[in-house]
C-alpha cells in the first residue's frame, strides 16, 4: 500500500472515510459525521466525491489536539450500508495484526 502519509493530491475513486490515531493513546479512530472521532469504523462519515473527501479531511485536520495524522482511506460498503475497510492496511488497522501475537513456547 502506498503510505497515506505521502498523500498529496486528493482524488478518490470510491467510497472513503477519514481515519487517524487518537492523540492521548494512539488508538485508531474514524471521523464521524458529527465532527467527532470514534473507534468504530461503522461510525465513520463516508464520502463519495473528491470535494467531500477534501472537506472532511480539512475539518478533521483542524482537530490537532484530538487526533494525529488524519488521512483519507477507502472503504467498502456492504449490503445494508455496513462500512468495511477498503484495503489490507485499513483491514489491519481495524482488525489487528494478521499474525499470532504470542511467541509460541
Partner 1 sequence: MYAYDELDRTLINERVSEFRDQVKRRLSGELTEDEFKLLRLQNGVYLQLHAYMFRVAIPYGTLSSKQLRRFAHVARRYDRGYGHFTTRQNIQFNWIKLAELPDALADLAEVGIHAMQTSGNNMRNVTSDQWAGVAPGEVEDPRIWSELIRQHTTLHPEFSFLPRKFKIAITASEHDRAAIKIHDIGLRLHKNADGETGFEVLVGGGLGRTPFIAKTIKPFVHGRDILSYIEAILRVYNQYGRRDNIYKARIKILVHELGIEKFAKEVEEEWNQMGDSELRLDYAAIEEVRSRFSYPPYEKLPHMPDELKRAAHDPLFERWRKNSVSPHKVQGYSIVTLSLKPVGGPPGDATAEQMDALADLADKYSFGEIRVGHEQNLALPHVAKRDLPQLFKALDRLGLATPNVNLVTDIIACPGLDYCSLANARSIPIAQELTRRFANHDTADLIGRLHINISGCINACGHHHVGHIGILGVEKNGEEFYQITIGGRADENAQLGTLIGPAVPYAEVADVIEDIVEAYLALRDRPEELFVDTVKRLGVEPIRERVYATR
Q: Judged by CB under 8 A, which of 15, 23, 46, 76 binds partner 1?
A: 23
**Which residues touch 96 (CB under 8 Å, ≥6 apart)?**
none
Q: Pick between residue 84 and residue 89 the one whose CB is nearest to partner 1.
A: 89
What minimum distance in Å lies between the beta carbon of 98 and partner 1?
6
Determine the Cα–Cα distance for residues 7 and 79; give it in Å rounded to an integer. Answer: 29
* CB atoms inside a 10 Å sphere around CB 70: 26
Q: Which of positions 64-93 make contact with partner 1 (CB under 8 A)?
A: 64-65, 68-69, 87-89, 92-93
Q: Judged by CB under 8 A, which of 8, 9, 11, 24 binds partner 1?
A: 24
Question: Any contact of residue 96 with partner 1 (CB under 8 A)?
Answer: yes
86: alpha, beta or left? (left if phi > 0; alpha if psi -120 to 50): alpha
Amino acid at each position: 500500500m502506498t503510505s497515506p502519509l505521502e498523500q498529496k493530491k486528493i482524488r478518490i475513486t470510491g467510497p472513503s472515510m477519514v481515519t487517524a490515531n487518537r492523540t492521548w493513546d494512539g488508538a485508531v479512530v474514524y471521523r464521524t459525521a458529527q465532527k467527532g472521532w470514534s473507534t468504530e469504523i461503522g461510525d465513520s462519515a463516508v464520502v463519495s466525491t473528491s470535494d467531500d473527501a477534501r472537506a472532511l479531511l480539512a475539518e478533521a485536520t483542524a482537530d490537532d489536539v484530538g487526533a494525529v495524522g488524519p488521512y483519507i482511506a477507502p472503504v467498502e460498503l456492504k449490503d445494508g450500508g455496513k462500512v468495511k475497510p477498503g484495503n489490507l492496511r485499513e483491514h489491519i488497522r481495524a482488525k489487528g495484526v494478521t499474525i499470532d501475537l504470542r511467541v509460541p513456547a
